[in-house]
Structure 1
Amino acid sequence: MELPPLHLPFLLGVPILEKIAAPIAPIFAGRTGSQLFLTDGKPNKPPLLLRMASNCEDGKFIAALGAFSCRILYANVSYDHMVGWRTSSIRRETELVKPPRRSLDGYKHVVDVEYCPPVLSDGPHFPPEAAKAKEAAQNAPSTQSTVEYHEILEEEMIHGLQQLGWKKVDVSFHSAFWPFFAHNNIHVKNEWLYNAGVGVVAHVAESLKQQESSTFIAANL
C-alpha cells in the first residue's frame, strides 16, 4: 500500500526547484503531480494524501491499514533520492538519529529494527491555516509558503499514520559498491544490477515467514 510522501528529496533542498516544482508538476505529471505536492482540489478541501492518512468519506484508509496484523516499513537511511528516510519510516526530522553502520547478522545492509507502538490521536486535521497555506501554494507559491504548508500537513499526516503500530526496518547501503542505487537496491529491481539488496529481501521473507507461523499458531490455540 502506498503511503503519503512527507518529504521530497529529489528537489535536493534547492529553493528555486521547490518554488517552481509545485505549479509545473501538473503539466508534466497531470493530476498526480498536484497530488504529490498537496495542491490538488479546492483550497478548503484536504488534499488526497492527507485524506489517505485518515478515515474519511472517500475511504477508510487507516482502517484498511489497521486490518493488517503486521505493518513493516523498510526505509533507506541515505542515498535514496526519490524517497527520503523520514518519509519511508514515518518519522519527524527530530526523530532521525544516526543509524548503526553494522548490518544485522545474516541480513547485509539491514542496520536496525524498531517497533513503534500506536500513538493515541484523534487523527489528522486540516486546520484553517492549512487551507490558507494551500491557497497560497496554488495561486502564489513561494519557497516560504510552500515549506510552511508542507510542514503543517507533514505533522498532520504523521498524527494519522502513527495511530497504528509499525515495525520500522532501517537499511543502509553506505558500504555497497553503488550506494547511489539505494532506491532500486532495497527491492532488488534487477537481480544483476541491484543485487546489493538481497539481504533486505531475505529479511522481508523471514519476516513474512515469522508472521505466517504466528498466525498459524494463534489459529490452532
Structure 2
Amino acid sequence: MKPSSYPATLVLIFTLLLVNLTAFAQESAYDLLVKKDGTIMEVKIVEIKPDEILYRKKDDPDGAIFGIEKSELLSAKLSNGETLTFTVTVDSFYDKARAASYPARPAGVPLYEAIPPKNEFESGIQALPSDQLENKYHLYRAASRAGKAKGWTGTILQIGVNLIGTIIAVANTETDSFGNTYYTNEKAVRTAGFLMIGGTLSGLILGPAGFVKAAKNGNKARYIRDEMRRRGVSYQPRR
C-alpha cells in the first residue's frame, strides 16, 4: 500500500467505526426482553413490578403500555447494560395461585388504551407530545383553582353586602307602641335596599360563573391526568 493512501484508509476506518458506534447507541437505547420460548422483544420498559414488567413497543414509544408476566421471561437486558434474570419462587407460586380466581389479561392487550376523543380538546391532548402534558395539566388545574376562588369571592361578597344592607335598614327602622314600622332615615334605608340588590346580583354573577369555570377546567385537568397515567408519564405536584 502506498504511503499516500494511508490518510484515506484511516478516514474510511474512522467513518465505519463511527457508524457502528452510532448504530450500537441507537440499539442500546431500548431494552430487550427474552421470553422462555426464545423470542426477543425490543421494548422501552416503563416499570418493573414484583411479578410483571410494563413496557411500550419500540415502534410506538409514546403509545399504549403493555404488561408481561415475569414467569414468561428468562431475562431482561436493560439499556444501561444491566441484565435481570427471573426465577419462580415459592412466594410467587402461591401469589399466582391466589390470583388464579381473577380473569387474566389477554396477551398483547394494552393496560391503558386511548379512549376515542369526544371533542376538539381531547383530540388536541391525545396529539400532544408526552413531555408537554405536565405543563398543560398544571395550567388547567390552576385555572380550576382560580375559578373556585372567584366563585367563593362572589358568594362571600353577596353575603357581606347583604348583611351590611340589612344592618343599615334595621338601624334606621323603628316600631312604635302600636306595632307600626316606620323609617327614621328613608335615604339610609333606600341605600340599604340598593346594597342588598347589588350584592345579590354580584353574587349571582360572580359566584356561579366562577364555580362553572372551576368545574370545566377541573374536568380538563382530570382528562389530562388520565392521559398521563395511560402513557405512564409522571408529574411533580405543585401547590
Structure with more relative contact order (C-alpha pairs < 8 Å, separation 6 or more): 1
Q: When the two structures are superposed, what TM-score results if normalisation uses the length of structure 1?
A: 0.21
Q: When the two structures are superposed, what TM-score results if normalisation uses the length of structure 2?
A: 0.20
User: Larger strand proportion, structure 1 or 2?
Assistant: 2
Larger radius of gyration between Structure 1 and Structure 2: 2
